[in-house]
Amino acid sequence: MKLFNKVNNDELKQRLLESAEKRTTLSFYKYAHIDNPELFRNQLYLLLDEVGVFGRIYVAKEGINGQVSVPEANFEDFKKRLFSIPFLDGVRLNIAIDDDGKSFFKLKIKVRKKIVADGLDDDAFDVTKRGHHLSAREYNTLTGDEGTIVVDMRNHYESEVGHFEDAICPNVTTFREALPLVEEMLKDKKGSNIVMYCTGGIRCEKASAYYLHRGFKNVFMVDGGIIEYARQCEEQGLPNKFIGKNFVFDERLGERVGEQVIARCHQCGSPCDTHVNCANDACHLLFIQCDACAEKYHNCCSARCAEFAQLPQEVQLELRKTMQFNGTKFTKGRHKAFRQDEGLEMK
């Protein structure tokens, strides 16, 4: 019985790059009560692997959170299989906006304590008592009100490349950090209209229930997140209030929603919103890099990493025991921090 993919990752990536198979990238989530996540995980793997699904799915007692790609030829079969699970029957499928079909190269389904790490005590409040969902049209109308507050519930490296107009973008690296910070920022605004958004809606679903529990009165969230908002705007010919690119957690690292480029290369400062991981595997820092700097630094975040990556593999393995790089010292894309350290500067 096949419950895991054991083929080498590099080989799987190469297969995907060389494949002409058309695939559709999508995400879905559902808060539900799953009594035996391990058993559910195994059954789900067999169900989806049979139709060629790739992606990353988290299963927990509180529900499921998935980002996957599906062969176009098997899409209807995939839907039937997913919808055959009672609590997932009719679940929203957020179809990717800017998709080349190269988002995932294998299927991974993991059992976790939570489908999104939030640091909350779920027994203290009811996650089903959530805020009001807004369609794209409703979002545009409500945010036209001067008193409405818009909050980006994503991380700094996501909002850096794209966000809604006039949104508050917390400088955080995790959702766990964002929850108390946003509450503190808005502690005197509990009677105001608070509109939250995230990539596909899952973080706002939990956050809205938490903030209602904490005494906020008028909590709203963008239904289906940025992905669904953009789809509705295009389908209905609505003004798109999202500026820039939507960061995504797959091989693409981003999809174009707005035409604007609002971020800058972390190395030279030129307009750029392309996220990459440092080619030095000992670093692997996520940062923004333009094509010119990619060529100059051999796809690395610094000259130091570029030089290290050219060394023989056996030498790298020995040096990694004592050397530090940007990725081992700083978190995703915090380039201003590591530029202050002469030993780890970008240039």
Q: What is the DSSP string of 292-343?
A: HHHHHTTTSSSHHHHHHHTS-HHHHHHHTTT---HHHHS-TT-HHHHTT-GG
Confidence of residue 191 (pLDDT cuts 50, 70, 90): very high
Between 2 and 169, the higher pLDDT residue: 169
Residue type, 298: H
What was the pLDDT predicted at 343?
36
Domains (ranges, CATH) in the chain?
9-111 (3.30.70.100), 126-244 (3.40.250.10), 275-344 (no CATH)
Report d(CA 284, CA 172) in Å as an integer: 19
* pLDDT value, residue 102: 79
pLDDT for the residue numbered 116: 86
Q: Is the pLDDT of residue 205 over 70?
A: yes
- For residue 13, pLDDT beyond 80: no
> Is the pLDDT reported for residue 168 higher than 60?
yes
| pLDDT for residue 154 is more than 60 | yes
Asked whether the predicted pLDDT for residue 186 surpasses 50, the reply is yes
Question: Between β-strands 218-222 and 242-246, what pairing exists: parallel, antiparallel or unpaired?
Answer: unpaired
Tell whether the model's pLDDT for residue 272 goes beyond 70.
yes
Portion of the chain with pLDDT greater than 90, in percent:
71
Answer yes or no: are the C-beta atoms of 221 and 196 closer than 8 Å. yes
Kindly state the average pLDDT of the residues 148-169.
96
User: Hey, CA dihedral for 340, 343, 344, 347, is it positive or negative?
Assistant: positive
Catalytic residue among 169, 198, 265, 293: 198
Tell whether the model's pLDDT for residue 338 goes beyond 70.
Answer: no
Supply the pLDDT for residue 12.
62
pLDDT (0 to 100) of residue 275: 96
Work out the burial of residue 8: count CB atoms within 10 Å of its CB; fewer than 13 is exposed, 13-18 middle, 19 or more buried.
exposed
- Say if residues 254 and 248 touch (Cβ distance below 8 Å): yes
Strand 218-222, strand 193-197: pairing:
parallel
Task: Using CB atoms within 10 Å of the CB of residue 327, give its burial: 0 to 12 exposed, 13 to 18 middle, 19+ buried.
Answer: buried
Structure tokens at 316: 């790298």
**pLDDT value at 331 more than 90:** no
What is the band of 21 on the pLDDT scale with cuts at 50, 70, 90? confident
pLDDT the model gives residue 330: 75
pLDDT of res. 6: 65
Asked if residue 208 has pLDDT above 50, the reply is yes
Count Cβ neighbours within 10 Å for each residue of 129-144 and write b for 16 or more, e otherwise.
Answer: ebbebbbbebbbebbe
**pLDDT band, residue 121 (cuts 50/70/90):** confident
User: Which letter, b or e, does each residue of 302-315 get, where b requires 16 or more Cβ atoms within 10 Å of its Cβ?
Assistant: bebbbebbeeeeee
Model confidence at 127, pLDDT cuts 50, 70, 90, reads confident
| Average pLDDT rounded to a whole number, residues 127-150 | 94
Read off the pLDDT of each residue in 177-201 and give the average, rounded to a whole number: 95
> Residue 322 contacts by C-beta under 8 Å, 6 or more apart in sequence?
none
Q: Are 116 and 65 in contact (CB under 8 A)?
A: yes
8 Å CB contact between 329 and 282: no
CB 6 within 8 A of CB 49: no
pLDDT top residue among 333 and 294: 294
198 as an active site residue: the answer is: yes
Quickly count: other Cβ atoms within 10 Å of residue 206's Cβ: 24
